[in-house]
Amino acid sequence: AQSVTQLDSQVPVFEEAPVELRCNYSSSVSVYLFWYVQYPNQGLQLLLKYLSGSTLVKGINGFEAEFNKSQTSFHLRKPSVHISDTAEYFCAVSKAAGNKLTFGGGTRVLVKP
Amino acid sequence: DAGVTQSPTHLIKTRGQQVTLRCSPKSGHDTVSWYQQALGQGPQFIFQYYEEEERQRGNFPDRFSGHQFPNYSSELNVNALLLGDSALYLCASSGEWVLGEAFFGQGTRLTVV
C-alpha cells in the first residue's frame, strides 16, 4: 500500500516570494507522482506529474517539482507566487498509470499582498 | 470539450436516505473513478469503473455502490446515509494509460442532516 505525507498543512507566503510545498511518500513499488491544485469550491486540476525520465518536472503556472527516489520525496516549488496561487495543493501517488490515486492531506497556501 | 461533468452540484439529504450522484467523463475517456473528500482532508478513493465493471475498490462499506453505462458515464449510489457521509464527492476520468492522468469534475457537495 502507498501513503503520502504533506508535511505542512498551511503555508503563508508573501506575493512574489518563493514557495516550497513538501511531499513524502512510501511505497513498496515504483510509483507515479502527481501534484493537484484545488481552488475554493472547485475540483482538482493537475499541476504536474512524474511518470519516468528527468527527475525535474515542470508544470503549469510556473510550478515545478523534483522527484528524489532516495528521499522518497516530490517537493513542489514556485520561484515567485501570485495572489491567484492561493489554493489547496495535493500531492498524490499511484502505482500504475490509470490506477487509483492516493492523496496526501493537502497544503493550504495563502498568498499575502 | 466539456471536460468531466457532475450532477447535481449540491445536495441535502436526511440521515437514512439514499442518494445517487452522476458523472459524465471527458470525451474519449473510458475509465471513471470516484473519490470522497471530507472537509479539510485529501480525497479518498472509493472505486473505479472500466468497461462497466468495478475494477478497483477502496476501503468503503457496501453502502457505497456504483454503475457505469455503455456511454462510459457513471453513477455513485450511497444507501442508508450517515452524517459522516457529508463530503465533496469527486469524479475523475482517464483514458490514455500511458499518460497516467486523471481529469476531475467540480464535485457534488453532499450534506447529510
Query: Which tens digits make up the pLDDT trace of A12-60?
Result: 999 999 999 999 999 878 889 999 999 988 889 999 999 888 889 999 9
Q: Which of B45, B51, B60, B88 to mutate to test the interface with A (most CBs of A within 10 A)?
A: B45
Mean per-residue pLDDT over chain B, rounded: 93
Does residue B103 belong to the interface with chain A, where contact is any CB pair within 8 Å?
yes
Most confident of A1-5, A8-12, B92-96: A8-12
For range A72-82, the mean pLDDT? 97
Cα–Cα distance for residue pair B44/B47, rounded to 1 Å: 10
Q: What is the pLDDT of residue A41?
A: 81
Confidence of residue B99 (pLDDT cuts 50, 70, 90): low
A23: phi then psi, degrees, rounded to nearest 5: -140, 125
* Pairs of residues, one from chain A and one from chain B, whose beta carbons lie less than 8 Å apart: 59
Residue A75 pLDDT greater than 70, yes or no: yes
